[in-house]
Amino acid sequence: MSLLTAIVPGVAEQLPIAVLVSGTGTNLQALLDTVHGREARIVAVASSVADAPALARAAERDVPTAVFARGDYADRAARDDALADWLVQRGARLVVLAGYMELLGPVFLARFSGAVINVHPSLLPAFPGIGAVAQALAYGVQVFGVTVHFVDEGVDTGPVILQRAVELPDAREEHEVLDALRPLEHALLPQAVRLFARGALQFDPADPRHPLAMRPPGAGADWPADLRVARPARGRAEASAPGEANGPDETRDAGEG
């Protein structure tokens, strides 16, 4: 089933998720501190870098880890196959890119169709790929933001799940922007996992760019406040994100990580 037509199934128990990392792991830590052991269970953490500090964060919580360095395989496809095999063995049903600094190929994405998400440090489709914050600063924007989106075969081109913006009219340095975006990443990524775990996302083939959010029973009129997508014509009442106007490789930017 393709990404754009797949319907994300509801999950009655904790959703088993895998997290892919390459760096310090602050987004992984946010997931460990919020959804792990609640709506979801992190069953695997895989890194493209052998000494990534994120691996220590996982080990502290007794989460299994493994390293899949691209140089250890004949090519990226072989690496992707080995990575996917391990994630399947671990029982992962959702793959979360949290500062993962590699691209994933079509075979990997097909094995987790409609179940790979990424956090990116810009308001996509603006400033995709590597160096998103540097691109935004060079362009002179005053509003920055974070996007959580489904991953497809393009570079940060998959359907948007959540977005949030912040005004930084005086920012001139990347670290200033990244410091402001980090709390947004740490809030939105767990929220996206919660939505997936509740079966609250699905793709409408007639409008594949806007995943639908299905309101769970008993939810209030403003549920959820951070949701970017809205389809009022279909009788759904979702709220858009405040201020709303695949980690880095040669072409991917995964945020701070």
CB contact at 8 A, 216 and 156? no
- Cβ count within 10 A of residue 12: 8
Whether residue 120 lies in the annotated active site: yes
Give one DSSP letter per residue of 164-205, joined into a string.
EEEE-TT--SHHHHHHHHHHHHHHHHHHHHHHHHTT-EE--T
Q: Which of 120, 149, 186, 210 is catalytic?
A: 120
Alpha-carbon distances of 206 from 9, 163, 212, rounded to whole Å: 19, 22, 11
Distance CA 36, CA 43 (A): 9
Contacts of 64 (CB under 8 A, 6+ apart): 43, 44, 45, 58, 90
Distance CA 2, CA 205 (A): 10
Give catalytic residues, as residue numbers.
120
